[in-house]
Amino acid sequence: MSPPGLRQPPPLGTSALSAGTYDGSVVIVTGGGTGLGKAIATEFGRLGASVGILSRNEQHRAAGVVAVEEAGGRAMAAPCDIRDPDAIATAFDAVESELGPIDILVNNAAGNFPVPAEDMSPNAWRTVVDIVLNGTFLCSRDLARRLIPAERDGAIVNVGASYAWTGGPGFAHSAAAKAGVKNLTETLAVEWAPYGIRVNGLVPGLMPHEDETAAIAAVPGKYEGQDSRVPAGRVGFPRELAWAATYLCSPYATYISGDSLVVDGANWQRRHTVQPPFTPVRQQLNRPPFGELAQPASSATPAKGSN
Ligand code: HXC
């Protein structure tokens, strides 16, 4: 019989911090209308924050606003594609004019899909790097440029991934971008500490939720026996990430900056005494051999001498 593993967390709707911890604070959560971003936005709302939900998708924005309001917070939505610095400025302006000056930014929005590196088109690579790494930088920069001249403190949390440390076979674009985000977190924490701005990373483990994208949900075997595939003996819950996010931005974490907090029940450090048989990525994703795949024009090798 297996040992019991890590205990269950407190129930949904409870908070780690005191009620009202974020009264008067304005928080932006990018991608705050779905999944883990929605859980984080909701928890800030529960603790009294006014929350700006930024997303490209109108339905997602509406869902985020409802979730925050149901938890007792104030919320508004602003359309934003975080790849576009002008769109970020417009969205941040809209949040400030409705909710007040922004104190906290959660860079949660991401883009991702599994694909063997040799199948990945240049545009697929650029798209994910643009959303994950460039979007995180552009949003962080925009907030800093508001806080610094106003001499106001702030906190930024960058949602990361443990394959920033290990590499991410099947997710080369996202893993490389998340490694960039981890590094950026460390740089910005040093640059902006003199201004009272803290920057931390927050890394989720296996935390199933209803908004997983079709491409990720389609990974073969993804939902089989999930509890038994992690050392904790159970998957994580989005609220466990949300509690960590609200802690990292709180007054109780004012000496924590430049760190990345991994909330995954020790899954990413796992090693077997004898490793299980190795399965190449193409096989894990049920892909035919590379040569048998029709090549889309955008992923063809560029002609010699072209850019
Ligand atoms: C191969 C794909 C693809 C797929 C898109 N592309 N999906 N290639 N396999 N499944 C390629 C397209 O063909 C195109 O290249 C390029 O990527 C851009 O695609 P678009 O659809 O035009 O981009 P866009 O509309 O901007 O959408 C971005 C997106 C999309 C990333 C592709 O999925 C998205 O918006 N996702 C947001 C939500 C999300 O992904 N969340 C997951 C985060 S989870 P060509 O060459 O054809 O032009 C996460 C956790 C990590 O990050 C841990 C996971 C284990």
Closest CA to 25 of 106, 87, 145: 106
Residue 149 three-state SS: helix
In a domain, 146, yes or no: yes
In a domain, 171, yes or no: yes
Range of the domain at 231: 26-268+278-292
Environment class of residue 25 by beta-carbon count within 10 Å: exposed (0-12), middle (13-18) or buried (19+)?
buried
| Ligand 1 near 298 CB (within 6 A) | yes
| Ligand 1 near 174 CB (within 6 A) | yes
- The alpha carbon of 126 and the centre of ligand 1 are apart by a number of angstroms equal to 10
Closest CA to 47 of 82, 68, 22, 11: 22
**HSE-up (13 A, CA, CB side) for residue 231:** 11
Question: What is the pTM assigned to this prediction?
Answer: 0.95
Ligand 1: which residue has its CA nearest to atom 49?
112
| Ligand 1 near 110 CB (within 6 A) | yes
In a domain, 183, yes or no: yes
Catalytic residue flag (residue 252): no
Total count of domains within the chain: 1
Ligand 1: which residue has its CA nearest to atom 32?
111
In a domain, 303, yes or no: no
In a domain, 301, yes or no: no
> In testing the pocket of ligand 1, which one of 113, 166, 206 has its CB within 8 Å of the most ligand atoms?
113
CA of 80: how far to CAs of 57, 83, 125, in Å?
A: 9, 9, 21
What is the full per-residue pLDDT of the chain (307 aa) written as tens digits?
Answer: 789 999 999 999 999 999 999 999 999 999 999 999 999 999 999 999 999 999 999 999 999 999 999 999 999 999 999 999 999 999 999 999 999 999 999 999 999 999 999 999 999 999 999 999 999 999 999 999 999 999 999 999 999 999 999 999 999 999 999 999 999 999 999 999 999 999 999 999 999 999 999 999 999 999 999 999 999 999 999 999 999 999 999 999 999 999 999 999 999 999 999 999 999 999 999 999 998 866 554 444 433 333 3
